Structure 1
Amino acid sequence: MSPRPYVPLHLHTEYSLLDGATKIKDLVKKAKAENMPAVAITDHGVMYGAVELTKTCHEMGGVKPIIGCEAYIIDGDIEERKKTELYHLTMLAQNKTGYQNLVKLNSRAHLNGYYYKPRINKEMLAEFSEGLIVLSGCLGAQLCQHLLRDEYKEARDAAAWYRDTLGDNYYIEIQDHGVPEDRKVNKDLVKIARDLGIKLCATNDSHFTNKHDARAHDCLLCMSMGKHVTDEKRMKFTGWEYIKNGDEMAYLFRDHLDSELIEEAIRSTLEIADKVEAIKLQGAPRLPKVDMPAGHTAESYLSSLVFDGIKTKLEVDEIPENYVERARTELKVIEDMDFPSYFIITWDFINFARQNGIPVGPGRGSAAGSLVAYALGITNIDPIKYNLLFERFLNPERKSMPDIDTDFCIERRDEILKYCAEKYGDDRVAQIITFNRMTSKAVLKDVARVLEFPFADSNKLAKMIPVTRGKPTPLKDMVGEHPEFKQVYESEEEVRQVVDLAQKLEGVNKTFGMHAAGVVISDIPLEDLVPVQRNNDGAKIAQFYMEDLAYVGLVKMDFLGLRNLTMISKAIKIIKQTRGIEIDLDKLPLDDEKVFQVISNGDLAGIFQLETSSGMRQVARDMRPSNMEDISALIALYRPGPLDSGMIDKFIDCKHGRAKITYMTPELEPILKDTYGQIVYQEQVMMIAQQLGGYSLGQADLLRRAMGKKKPEEMEKHRGIFYKGCADNGIKAEIAEKLFDTMLQFAEYCFNKSHSQAYSLITYQTAYLKTHYPVEYMTALLSSVAGDQEKVQGYIAECQAMGISIFPPDVNVSGSDFTADGGAIRFGLSAVKNVGEGAIQEIVSQRETAGEYKSFQDFLTRIDLRVVNKRCLEALIKSGACVNLGITRKQALDNLDDLVDRASRQQSQKASGQMSLFSMGDGDAGGVTLDQPLKGDGGEYPEAELQFMEHELLGFYVTSHPLNRVANRLKYITTHPIKELKELKDGTTVIVGGLANSVQKR
């Protein structure tokens, strides 16, 4: 027999991060099973799950979604940053107007009222109350807090205000979680409700799905607080905070409320659900309004930009017919899909970047297959030259928003965001939230920690979990299919307990973050559509996943920050400074044999996309790329699928004549010639379907997608179409059958040629600069990774292998970054530990203003010692940055206290005007001087101590290395460099040589 009907209206999902454990799918499933005609979600101060709830309810059917939020409300000004009592308040959207008002309140709470929590006040609630249903809240609510302090009148007055503001849309919640406080307030809540004519509503402050999930939820709470489950002094739940059905709710109040009140309170939940309208969140794509030049529509303006752009790109007055035809075809599709504005908006912010010297990548993803994108300067790859397909990017037979990803200089990406905010309105631009879910490995360790399960044992368990393409294997698969893991799980009770609890929390959201690239730009203020907030760095982000933003009609733009573009730009600037040569990346010869030789030698350190591993170095040596097509194929093929299947070996053998290039039928040669008879790219699958199977390119893209999903019924349908098309084109049946099976086999591994061809251009550019301008390129490369000691160390080793000397920092030469110094590279001052940006600016500024520092004393006299303090000076001395000032490190450190004291007093006297004209000139007449003889004989520390200092302050040995004495012997003894160990399989026997910096016993 089904439980009585009831609607849970106070419920926290996993989107109440590290507090709620219920997944929305589980919630709707439970509602369907337990006679709940509707469900509300009321997460703490956020609306992250709103779209997921509406979509899930629609897909599963039979349950009405109620979008809500547990708000934090205060008395007073939300913009005042001071501690004020916060009250919880349950708010539900009754209709679309209520949803929009809830979004406004939530957004403003975050953007204007955030102080530890996102806060609203009563004035805001009154202003945006239309369409809202408000429940009085839990023990943390205003009414309950007053009643717990025996402030009945204040509680009654508060309830009266809510009733007067919201009318019949205000209800008083009664709850019972097995704590005396609930029962204490319930009695007075009933009295207030009766006095003021407010209806009661029965809710349970649910934080997990089922009763048996309580222990897993307790582990989640401990994770959030950094506690163990055994800690007595921590927040604990009672175990009653699961999603109760109607019968359980009625039973809950049986011994302290009369049956009539209980019936009313449960009936109110159904009444509220009946009041709530089905809110449609799905919307058509919306873009900001674009101002067109006089006399232009979006369509005509885009066409004008495109044809002018083609002339510029090809440097012609008359456009070749094949380009005209391709441009018209693409423009027709774009117009039919109503996307001209999207392309103009994208062109506009990329044009802004180029005009302002912000490096922009040549293209990313399938957009590089569009001639329109190339003509607009959105990409820099000619799709006709490289045989790239527009339909791979925008399929006329499958309408979906175009997805143009753009790489920008990582240091100047924010300028593009600022430009868009200024152009379209700051309230219409936001970045996109992401959520970090607990994977099997991570949750296993977290649960083990809070249960005080031995670290070594949990670590051993976690290491058993294989990672496939970046994803750890789920725990249920480990328990069911992994023999070693299963054996430990079944034989050890403690392990089983940890794994079972971890399974319940696996996949639950743990923290939120910000999408690396995604940006939405709206035609109306975002707070009219979606809730927004700020991340920890103050960036404004929309609260919905990018898929959910698309669902409500917002179009995602991708602004990716690519460090390599920054590094290329810096290298070009350094080349101009040191050699007076202007490098134009668009004019680089793409057939430079020396460049291809560097790649073929496997000298890949610092080369974009190719420096991934020793495996890539070996493949590059074996392949010996000789043109841009080969580099593109190298990027496409060096992935697990092609490597495991032997595709890459066959490609290499065919390229170098060790295997014969064969084609099943002559018609395949024009399609597969550039890849030596191999199907490497998705575009090749599409072209085979078009040219042999009779598909249009749009249909061929649908076939490609279907092959990727491998749905049997779809495959059989396409198989018949393909066979017929081949027959119509004179292809034998057995060839058609074999070809379709081959396409199906390779579809899983095939790569997007538009993307690899675009990225091959950056690969070539980095290889070109490294080949012809090695010092300048490596200088820029080192500067780009200055904060990553492991990478800096690797690139320094590469410089040494290339014969490039590395000099220590020097206060008379160094800037903040690494600098090219003749044929060598010098450390920047920012690489020195304990030397901040302010100190660097002071040192460089004084040097640029008054010339080089003549001595250590001159240096101390001229710099502001309030900015460059003693700790900073010690770091500069130890790192070797002062050795060219005519003083040894030992002598500088031995005299530092006295010299700094004198220099500080001299600067104080100057600042206060106490020095006479004579004392300022020669140090007598009472002035402080630094001219006295220095202590010590000018000797230096032993070499080992100098090495230690350099390593301590720079993280590296620069002038000499402790292993230099044994380097030649190590070369013959060791089997692998340490940096390659992470690429080896577990259990590989190795001999390595190095220095032990520390020893840790466990």
Structure 2
Amino acid sequence: MFVNLHTNSYYNFLNSALSPKKLVNLAINDQQKAVAITDPNLFGAVEFFITCKQNNIKPIIGLNLTVEYQKNDVKLLLIAKSNKGFQTLNKIALIQQKLEINSLVDQLTDIAVIICSLTTWKSTYKDVYQAKGIEINQTPIAILANAVNCEKTNSDQVVLTVLKQMKQNQTGKITTFDWDLKQKLNQISINENLKVKSEIQPFLDQKTAQQLFSETELNNLNDLVNRCELDLEHLKAASLSLTDNDAAVLESLCQTNLKQFLDKNQDLNKKAYQLRLEKELNVINKLNFASYFLVVNDLVNYAFKKDILIGSGRGSAVGSLVAFLLNITKIDPVQHQLIFERFISTHRQDLPDIDIDIMENKRAEMINYLFEKYGKENCAQIVTFQRFKTRSAVKEVAKLFNDYGISDMILGVLPKDQTITFTDLKATEDSALQLCLQQFGLIVELALAIVDFPRQSSIHASGIVIASNSLIKTIPLLQLDNNHFLTQVSMEWLSFFNLNKFDLLGLINLTMISDVITQIKPSNQTVNQFLNTISWTDQNTFINLVNEDTLGIFQLESFGMKKLLVQIKPKTINQLAIVLALYRPGAQDNINLFINRLHNGYDQSDIDPRILPIVKNTYGVLIFQEQIINIVKVVANYSLEEADSFRRAISKKDVKLIQKNKRNFFERAVQNNFDLKTTTKIFSYIERFANYGFNLSHALGYALLSYWTAWLKTNYPVYFYLWLLNHFQSSKDKQKLIIRTLEKSGIEIYPPLLNKAQPNSVIENKKIYLGLNLIKGINDRYIQNLQKVQHLIQTQNNLQLTDVVSWCLDKTIGDIPLKDLLLLKTMGCFDFFEYTYDFNDAKDFWIKSDHLLFTRMPLEKKDSNFWIKQFFTN
């Protein structure tokens, strides 16, 4: 039985055309019992292992390594013979610089080493292994050599050979097309133009292997493969535990906080909250998730202690009362009838997933806190991969053909669907597309073939994993420049190891809210305390939104959003959530229907009275996933957990799965006294909307965040716009829009006066004084020098304009060139003298400054057109 042992996947970036799944399929199609992945990293190892196990193929995991020996490079394959061997590979993969072979030998626990040259092997063995007193029968070495003879030396040592013409059978290709594609990827990686096609090196099948290798050679190969036994399930991380009894600690925290909440809200149904809490805790403890909530609670408490602003809640976690009581979210799920089962369910084995929005400029601090608290070896950020999209794939492949301009034409006729295949394209009747394929079919075929191929690794924007012990014992890692670890396993495969994932998303809007509140809050209040005093029903805030005053408002700035706000005229957070949910692909198709029913009413008799309460607030239009769950519960008497599983199944568009769930739904609906006609109508109703139903929990969380920003803008507009001015200094278009909006708002704007101007814009007496940073052409060095001049202005008695001008031009103080000084004059930087002056004789300005024509004129605010012209055209 032959096994391809030296195989690269496409995680050896731009050096293979084979995904882990394709590697496994090759082995299946040729009835090979095992297959290997031997990339120079372990990015694909776990995906490969899981895919092998799912298909009853034995996984062999190795590492393609180049080490240094006597100042020469030696190419090795390191093959893990066991879980300990896999852990050894993890440790070696963590070391990103080239190793010297002496230092490598001591680390090789349960590793088979394949040296890819017989000559190299002889010298390396003699100088390294024998020098260390290591006998051959003690050394876990297997040699892959370009020699014909082959011998099995003893039970612990296998010497493998392959024929020279097979070039070590290094795969990463299978067919003529795949090998051709691999060559294209190589050329993309080094930015080369297209070369002549190389010799085809196929993934070796068993029939060919039987012809090329002797029985002894194949037996030796099988002997090595048989010695490799990986079972990564045994490396799964132990459950994270913070205390001796996390469940009891969590319950105590929640009960204490619930009592405080109910004491402040005496009109609420205490029994309903208590029953909801007991239900949630029962599920959380049954799934052993208590520690997860305690970690998030501790992180939130740290944020409150440091007055770092946390978001109002994101995703289905907003539907949890436990999360609400731990201050992880801000929306009361009982009052808003949110569904906990949408978040966590005993019907799913998914680990909980709480996404936490935090201030963008504090994310690094929060991550550092986690790494320090739980141990740097126990924490890691998560890798992600930048993959080829259709656009980038077409452009790169066209470049190989020296055809830079044709890519735009091809992209103009290609469908936007990222999953479309070349076969699909050939079957279409679009004449323009067919003409394109006739002329540029090879470019299109190659480009579509590499869509979704990974191009390089990156750091996930939010993900962090935390384990109870060292992560290197479980998964491969890389070390970042800040000494934090990065997983070599991407997000979708981490759950296999039972690792707790936490998402910290930096949000600039939270930074803005915090910065603005810091300017306006009483000194004895924190930012978080002030935010808790904001009314959620301020009608002036909603009026401003309806008036399209949404510049700087979270998720509401676009033209479409403004139009929808005018049409719906929201007056509550719930109605604002509907706006956010409707303005999305798919759901947008129902905007006109919703608006019409909102203003003109609709025939409620067309809706079964038993489900009418569920859709009444959205005028009979299904908008939220929670509505679907509740309808299924009412009609078919499903539990909430069953109903959510049903919704997930319907939304996947899997015909077989839909039919299976449909039969069960109809049977249970009939048993629940719904006739066939009504049931058919309701199922069709659900099926139509299930594909794009939005999560109400998420919509409410983000509606509140939108409202917070709108409230600050309505009640403290000067501070709100000041933050926008300083934040968007690099965007001319945004600056123009802000300045025009300031004028409409009646807020006074003044120039960056040299006697008080700061690098950023500032507020004084509810007026905005623009910052020096906004002046085009004035760099940081000039600003520092102007601040020296400013110091002299503030300390000089009997100040004269000529003094200021001299200081600006003096090379030891201001060192401002004359042209830039004129720019400062135009910007009004000298207007603190309350004079205007004639700068016509600019060339001799500094000499003739005593003879300048001064005309007394009070300092005046300028209109927006003046500032836009001065700031953006000089």
Provide the TM-score with structure 1 as the length reference: 0.76
Q: What is the one-letter code of the residue matched to 2:438? A: S
Could you say if the C-alpha distance between residues 727 and 279 of structure 1 is closer, same or farther in structure 2, counting changes exceeding 3 Å?
closer
> What CA distance in whole angstroms lies between the structure 2 residues aligned with 1:668 and 1:960?
56
Report 1:160-559 matches (<5 A). 160=130, 164=135, 167-175=138-146, 199-202=159-162, 203-230=168-195, 238-245=198-205, 248=208, 265-281=217-233, 286-291=238-243, 297-316=245-264, 320-453=270-403, 455-467=404-416, 471=418, 473-481=420-428, 483-492=430-439, 495-534=440-479, 540-559=485-504
Do the aligned partners of 1:20 and 1:208 also contact (CA within 8 Å) in 2? yes
Deviations 1:729-750 (A, max 9, x none): 5544432331222122111121
Change (3 A) 1:87 1:715: same
1:92 to 79, 100, 103: 79
Q: Cα gap change, 1:226/1:718 in structure 2, threshold over 3 Å: closer, same or farther?
A: closer
**Structure 2 equivalent of residue 25 of structure 1:** 21
The aligned residue for residue 59 of structure 2 is 65
User: Are the counterparts in 1 of residues 141 and 157 from structure 2 also a CA contact under 8 Å?
Assistant: no
Q: Which residue of 2 aligns with 1:13?
A: 9
| Counterpart Cα distance in 1 of 2:215 and 2:785 | 75
- In structure 1, C-alpha distance between the alignment counterparts of 2:242 and 2:814, rounded to whole Å: 51
Residue identity in the other structure for 2:259: K
SS of the residue aligned with 1:65? strand
1:779 is aligned to: 722
| Partners of 1:105 and 1:120 within 8 A in 2 | no
Instruction: Give, as a single letter, the amino acid of the residue that structure 1 aligns with 2:644.
Output: D
Q: CA deviation at 1:461?
A: 0.5
The reply on whether 1:128 has 2:107 as its aligned counterpart is yes
Q: For residue 589 of structure 1, what is the aligned residue in structure 2?
A: 535
- Cα–Cα, structure 1 residues 741 and 402, in superposed 2: closer, same or farther, change >3 Å? same
- CA shift, 1:817, in A, is 4.0
Contact map agreement 1:834 1:871 (CA 8 A) in 2: no
Shift of 1:961: 2.7
Superposed, 1:135-154 pairs within 5 Å as 135-137=114-116
CA shift in 2, pair 1:409/1:497, >3 Å: same
Question: 1:503 Cα deviation (Å)?
Answer: 3.2
What SS does the corresponding residue of 1:766 show, helix, strand or coil? helix
Question: 1:483 is aligned with what amino acid?
Answer: D
What's the CA shift string for 1:878-898, capped at 9, x where partnerless? 6948545879997999699xx
* Alignment CA distance shift 1:716-1:41 (3 Å): closer
Alpha-carbon shift at residue 655 of structure 1 (Å): 2.1
Pairwise CA distance, 1:169: 2.4
Shift, 1:873, TM fit: 11
Give the Cα separation in 2 of the matches to 1:250 and 1:866.
Answer: 84
Are the equivalent residues in 1 in contact too, given 2:782–2:816 (CA < 8 A)?
no
CA–CA distance in 2 between the matches of 1:713 and 1:539? 45
Structure 1, unaligned runs of 5 or more: 77-83, 111-117, 176-185, 231-235, 253-258, 897-931, 941-955, 965-994, 998-1002
Output aligned runs, 1:956-971, within 5 Å: 959-961=867-869
Write the distance in 1 (CA, Å) between the matches of 2:696 and 2:113. Answer: 54
Determine what percentage of the aligned residue pairs are the same residue: 27
Q: Matches of 1:239 and 1:867 in 2, distance apart?
A: 69
Answer yes or no: is the 8 Å Cα contact 2:602–2:619 preserved in 1.
no
Q: How does 1:908-947 map to 2 (within 5 A)?
A: 933=847
Residues 837-859 of structure 1: per-residue CA shift (max 9 Å, x gap): 78867876996899579779679
CA contact (8 A) 1:516 1:560 kept: yes
Conserved in 2, the CA contact under 8 Å of 1:156 and 1:192? no
- Give the 3 Å change call, closer, same or farther, for CA 47–596 of structure 1 in structure 2: same
> Which residue identity lines up with residue 556 of structure 2 in the other structure?
L
Contact 1:363-1:407 within 8 A present in 2 as well: yes
Q: In the TM superposition, what are the counterparts of 1:661-740 in structure 2 within 5 Å?
A: 661-662=604-605, 664-723=607-666, 725-727=668-670, 729-740=672-683
The alpha-carbon deviation at position 426 of structure 1 amounts to: 0.9
Deviations 1:618-654 (A, max 9, x none): 221111112211101111111121212xx22222222
Verify the 8 A CA contact 1:211 1:239 in the aligned structure 2: no
1:36 to 24, 32, 35: 32
- For the structure 1 residues 700 and 158, does the alpha-carbon distance in structure 2 shift closer, same or farther, using more than 3 Å as the test? same
Task: Indicate how the Cα distance of structure 1 residues 479 and 614 shifts in structure 2: closer, same or farther if over 3 A, else same.
Answer: farther
In structure 2, relative to structure 1, the CA distance for the partners of 1:724 and 1:265 (3 Å cut) is closer
**Inter-CA distance 436–335: structure 2 relative to 1 (3 Å threshold):** same
Q: Aligned AA for 1:52?
A: E
Aligned partners of 1:129 and 1:166 also within 8 Å: no
- State the number of aligned residues: 849
Note the C-alpha offset of 1:443: 0.9
Paired letter, 2:428: E
Q: 1:865 to 1:463 in 2, by over 3 A?
A: farther
| Contact 1:834 1:872 survives alignment (8 Å) | no
Query: Does the residue aligned with 2:295 lie in a helix, a strand or coil?
Result: helix
Partner of 1:915: none
Q: Retained in 1: the 8 A contact 2:10–2:16?
A: yes
User: How far off its partner does 1:413 sit?
Assistant: 0.7
**Could you tell me which residue of structure 1 aligns to residue 857 of structure 2?**
none
Give the aligned residue type for 2:107: F
Question: Is the partner of 1:306 in helix, strand or coil?
Answer: helix
For residues 423 and 849 of structure 1, what CA distance do their matches in structure 2 show? 49
Using the TM superposition, give the Cα deviation of residue 957 of structure 1 relative to its aligned residue in structure 2, in angstroms.
8.3
Alpha-carbon distance in structure 1 between the residues aligned to 2:720 and 2:53: 56
Contact 1:832 1:875 in 2 (8 A): no
User: Cα distance, 1:384 vs. partner?
Assistant: 1.1
**Which residue type is aligned with residue 641 of structure 1?**
G
Which sits farther off after the overlay, 582-591 or 378-387?
A: 582-591
* Counterparts of 1:123 and 1:333, CA distance in 2: 53
Is the CA contact (8 Å cut-off) linking 1:440 and 1:502 kept in structure 2?
Answer: yes
Which amino acid is 1:302 matched to?
A: L
Shift of the alpha carbon at 1:362?
0.8
* 1:179 corresponds to: none
Return the offset for 1:673: 2.6
Secondary structure of 1:43 counterpart? coil
- How many angstroms does 1:601 deviate by? 2.0
1:575–1:581 Cα contact (<8 Å) kept: no
1:517 offset after TM fit, Å? 0.9
- The residue type paired with residue 959 of structure 1 is W
Asked if the contact 1:93–1:276 (Cα under 8 Å) also holds between the matched residues in 2, the reply is: yes
Q: SS where residue 405 of structure 2 aligns? A: helix
Q: Deviations over 1:448-493 (max 9, x none)?
A: 101102x22221111222335xx4755443343261454224432x
Deviation of 1:420 after TM superposition, in Å, equals 0.6
| Alpha-carbon RMSD | 4.2
Flag the 1:480–1:563 CA change in 2: closer, same or farther, 3 A: farther
TM-score by structure 2 length? 0.86
Encode CA deviations 1:293-330: one digit per residue, 9 max, x unaligned.
Answer: xxxx2122111111222233444398822111111111
Which amino acid counterpart does residue 509 of structure 1 have in structure 2? Answer: P
Q: Distance in 2 between matches of 1:849 and 1:372?
A: 59
* Alpha-carbon distance, 1:552 to partner: 1.7
Aligned to 1:944: none
Q: 1:366-414 CA distances to partner (integer Å, 9 max, x unpaired)?
A: 0000111000001011001111111111113333211111100011011
Q: Partners in 1 of 2:698 and 2:819 — Cα distance?
A: 49
CA offsets, 1:960-1001, max 9 Å, x none?
A: 53999xxxxxxxxxxxxxxxxxxxxxxxxxxxxxx9x9xxxx
Per-residue displacement from partner, 1:334-379 (whole Å, max 9, x unpaired)? 1111111111111001111121111100100000001110000010
Whether the 8 Å CA contact 2:550–2:556 is kept in 1: the answer is yes
Matched, 1:623 2:583: no
